[in-house]
């Protein structure tokens, strides 16, 4: 009987590990939007990243003119310290033996979702650290104009490439309302292609070259307003030291098993001018 129980639990926890890892990778949407670094298998838990400035002077012009002076290029080193996060679920023997659904898949999904949300929340919390700010706590709503301003700011700082915008659903609601003329479906023939797509599918897609994402992980500031952002992938960094792992420990007196999910990573600001925070109030108007 003991061997059967052990074999069953081994299979159960293997399924939990696989489901948790799959869910984590599928739902942690912020990680692909920022610069990723891999510390797995490397000594230490600190990521060191060199940021090199653009060259704006020191040019030599004219035919047959010797380049006699070297331009000094000094990198600024950014340091990110990885830390461990963990969450535990307790599975009682009674729950395991009487569950009608796939207990392993359910626990794995919950643990994976929890860690995915933790990673996304930690990354989005960095938005308020961008020195460039558009909007304010008194800004009534997110508008297309604010997105345009953010893009103009990034391009003014010579930040080129793909941009992403991450906002709270309350913020994107107001933007959708503007794009769809307050949801007036009867007037959809007068809307832009983007506005018609919002009416039809409910999501924004791309606006002014910015791929728009919406998530409740976007938090508020001290004034109660939401802080979203438009940024380049080089604005923020995610450094993985240890990927999601599952460990178990038997609690005989409780007739249960503790299931602990953990991972070790670091997040931080990489290049400040590559991101713009956009602040609007938290009210759906």
**Burial classification of residue 121, based on how many CB atoms lie within 10 Å of its CB (0-12 exposed, 13-18 middle, 19 or more buried):** middle
Instruction: Judge contact between 47 and 266, C-beta under 8 A.
Output: yes
Indicate whether 6 belongs to any domain: yes
Indicate whether 224 belongs to any domain: yes
Instruction: Judge contact between 277 and 218, C-beta under 8 A.
Output: no
Exposure string over 189-203, b if 16+ CB within 10 A, otherwise e? eebeebbbbbbeeee
- CATH number of domain containing 119: 3.90.1690.10
Q: Provide the domain limits for residue 90.
A: 2-53+74-280
The pLDDT assigned to 202 comes to 43
Indicate whether 222 belongs to any domain: yes
The pLDDT assigned to 124 comes to 94
Lookup: tokens for 62? 């004219």
Indicate whether 63 belongs to any domain: no
The pLDDT assigned to 4 comes to 39
Indicate whether 190 belongs to any domain: yes
Indicate whether 206 belongs to any domain: yes
Indicate whether 65 belongs to any domain: no
Handedness of CA 204, 210, 211, 214 (dihedral sign): negative
Q: Find where tokens 């359910």 sit.
A: 106
The pLDDT assigned to 166 comes to 93
Structural domain total, the chain: 1
Indicate whether 10 belongs to any domain: yes
Backbone angles phi, psi at 42, to 5 degrees: -100, 150
pLDDT means per 10 residues, the chain with 285 residues, are 44 67 71 89 78 62 65 72 88 75 73 87 94 85 91 92 90 82 52 49 71 87 83 93 84 85 91 94 74
The pLDDT assigned to 57 comes to 61
């Amino acid at each position: 009987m003991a061997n059967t129980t052990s074999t069953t639990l081994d299979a159960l926890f293997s399924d939990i590990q696989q489901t948790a890892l799959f869910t984590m990778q599928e739902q942690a949407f912020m990680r692909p939007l920022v610069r990723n670094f891999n510390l797995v298998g490397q000594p230490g838990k600190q990521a060191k990243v060199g940021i090199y400035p653009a060259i704006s002077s020191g040019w030599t012009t004219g035919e047959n003119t010797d380049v006699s002076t070297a331009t000094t290029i000094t990198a600024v080193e950014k340091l990110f310290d990885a830390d461990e996060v963990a969450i535990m679920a307790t599975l009682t023997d009674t729950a395991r033996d009487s569950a009608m659904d796939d207990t392993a898949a359910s626990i794995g999904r919950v643990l994976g979702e929890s860690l995915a949300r933790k990673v996304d929340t930690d990354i989005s919390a960095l938005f308020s650290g961008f020195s460039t700010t558009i909007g304010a706590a008194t800004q009534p709503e997110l508008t297309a104009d604010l997105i345009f301003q953010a893009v103009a700011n990034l391009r003014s700082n010579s930040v080129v490439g793909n941009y992403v915008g991450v906002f709270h659903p309350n913020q994107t609601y107001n933007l959708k309302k503007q794009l769809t003329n307050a949801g007036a479906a009867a007037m959809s023939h007068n809307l832009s292609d983007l506005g018609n797509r919002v009416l039809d599918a409910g999501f924004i897609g791309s606006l002014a070259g910015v791929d728009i994402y919406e998530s409740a992980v976007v938090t508020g500031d001290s004034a109660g307003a939401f802080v979203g952002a438009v940024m380049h992938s080089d604005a923020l960094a995610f450094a993985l030291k240890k990927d999601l792992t599952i460990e178990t420990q038997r609690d005989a007196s409780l007739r249960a098993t503790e299931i602990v999910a953990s991972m070790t990573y670091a997040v931080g600001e990489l290049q400040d001018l590559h991101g713009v925070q956009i602040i609007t109030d938290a009210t759906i108007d």
